């Protein structure tokens, strides 16, 4: 991790409350992420980890503190948010593919409509991404005709079509059959090897051990512990982390 480069994502004392019930979901979060870093965020459900990464591309708003993504402060400035969203790709737990469009149409939608690329250029770039996730032969199928693992790989390819600087993964394998988890994780490992900045909320500890530079453990809205994977899994510093690890690594 280069000390001289500014962090690509910076959380400064960020706090968020849910408007509906006033629940304090992010508490004094102070984190920074460097370019090219691969970070796994883990924790029990309701710990705010999904909310944390959804703040990065302004899918969620925060009330206090300052969040800077690639030089842009995330706030009320809509143009800034648009700029950030073009540089940050996101993969969801529920895939969120557009079911009424074919796989190829899903991928070329943003390049043709947002980046205003000509259609044939966009198709070429889309096919490159489909090859990258090893799903090029299904380009003309509809998402619902594919298996869960295939759909998630298409979702990853769709996010990659915008050549983002940062990729956010919100529990990408949690909705998949166990047999399909491996194919998606392999794609993510491939991405990691190519130098992409990745923030991944996941329960897949094997993946964390394989590629993560850092593991962040969150509980009840705050960062409890962050460390390298080896250190975190073998020598957890806090009781809360020890408790969590005993539960998830037990079975």
Partner 1 sequence: MQQTYQPIDARPMPGLSTGVLAWLKTNLFSSPGNSIKTLVVLAIVLWALYGAMGWTLTNAVFGASLEACNSLRGIGACWGVVTEKGRLIVMGRYPDTEHWRPVIATALMLGVVGISCMPRFWNKALPLIWVVMLVVYFTLMKGGVLGLTEVPTDQWGGLPLTVMLTVVSMTMAFPLSVFVALGRRSNMPAIKTLCTLYVELIRGVPLITVLFMASFMLPLFMPEGVQIDVLIRVVVGITLFSAAYMAEVVRGGLQALPKGQTEAAATLGLSYWQTQRKIVLPQALSMVVPSLMNTFIGMFKDTSLVTIVSLYELTGALALALNADADWRPFKLEAYFFITLIYFVFCFAMSRYSLWVEKRTAVSKVR
Residue 113 has phi, psi (to 5 degrees) of -90, -30
- Structure tokens, 5: 């480069």
> What's the rounded Cα separation, in Å, for the pair 112 and 161?
11
Smaller CB distance to partner 1: residue 88 or 188? 88
Least distance to partner 1 from the beta carbon of 3, Å?
Answer: 31
Nearer to partner 1, 158 or 214 (CB): 158
Task: Report how far apart the first and last C-alpha atoms of the chain are (Å, whole number).
Answer: 34
Q: Which residues bind partner 1 (CB under 8 A)?
A: 57, 59, 82, 85-86, 88-90, 92, 94, 96-101, 109-110, 113-114, 142, 144-145, 158-159, 162
Largest CA distance in the chain: 56
Q: Look up residue 4 and give its DSSP letter.
A: S
Q: Tell me the CA distances in angstroms from 181 to 4, 103, 165, 178, 197, one per residue in order.
A: 37, 20, 24, 5, 21
Which is nearer to partner 1, 87 or 186 (by Cβ)?
87
- The count of residues in the chain is 251
Q: In terms of Cα–Cα distance, which of 239, 89, 236 is closest to 164?
A: 89
Name beta bridge partners: 167. Answer: 89, 198
Token output for 67: 């969040």
Kindly tell me which of 80 and 210 has the beta carbon lying closer to partner 1.
80
**Residue 127's CB: how many other CB atoms inside 10 A?**
16
Residue closer to partner 1 (CB basis): 107 or 215: 107
Fill in the DSSP letter of residue 213: S
Taking the least distance from each CB to partner 1, the nearer of 101 and 127 is 101
Q: What is the four-CA torsion angle of 199, 201, 207, 212, rounded to 10 degrees?
A: 40
Minimum CB–partner distance for residue 171 and partner 1 (Å) = 13
Q: Closer to partner 1 by CB, 114 or 121: give it.
A: 114
- Collapsed DSSP state (helix, strand, coil) of residue 208: helix
Task: Provide, rounded to whole angstroms, the least separation between the CB of residue 59 and partner 1.
Answer: 6
């Amino acid at each position: 991790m280069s000390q001289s480069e500014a962090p690509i994502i910076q959380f400064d004392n960020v706090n968020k409350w849910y408007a509906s019930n006033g629940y304090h979901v992010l508490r004094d979060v102070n984190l920074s992420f460097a370019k090219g870093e691969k970070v796994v965020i883990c924790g029990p459900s309701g710990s705010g980890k999904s909310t944390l990464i959804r703040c990065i591309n302004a899918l969620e708003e925060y009330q206090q503190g300052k969040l800077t993504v690639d030089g842009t402060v995330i706030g009320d400035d809509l143009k800034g948010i648009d700029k950030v969203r073009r540089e940050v790709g996101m993969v969801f737990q529920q895939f969120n593919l557009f079911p009424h469009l074919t796989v190829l149409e899903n991928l070329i939608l943003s390049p043709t409509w947002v980046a205003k690329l000509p259609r044939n250029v966009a198709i070429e770039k889309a096919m490159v991404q489909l090859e990258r996730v090893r799903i090029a032969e299904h380009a003309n199928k509809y998402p619902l005709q594919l298996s869960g693992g295939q759909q998630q790989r298409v979702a990853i390819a769709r996010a990659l079509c915008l050549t983002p600087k940062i990729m956010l993964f919100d529990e990408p394998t949690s909705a998949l059959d166990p047999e399909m988890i491996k194919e998606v994780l392999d794609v993510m490992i491939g991405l990691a090897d190519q130098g992409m900045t990745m923030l991944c909320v996941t329960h897949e500890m094997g993946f964390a051990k394989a590629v993560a530079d850092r593991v962040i453990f969150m509980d009840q809205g705050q960062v409890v512990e962050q460390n390298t994977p080896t250190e975190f899994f073998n020598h957890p510093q806090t009781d809360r982390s020890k408790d969590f690890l005993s539960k998830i690594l037990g079975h």
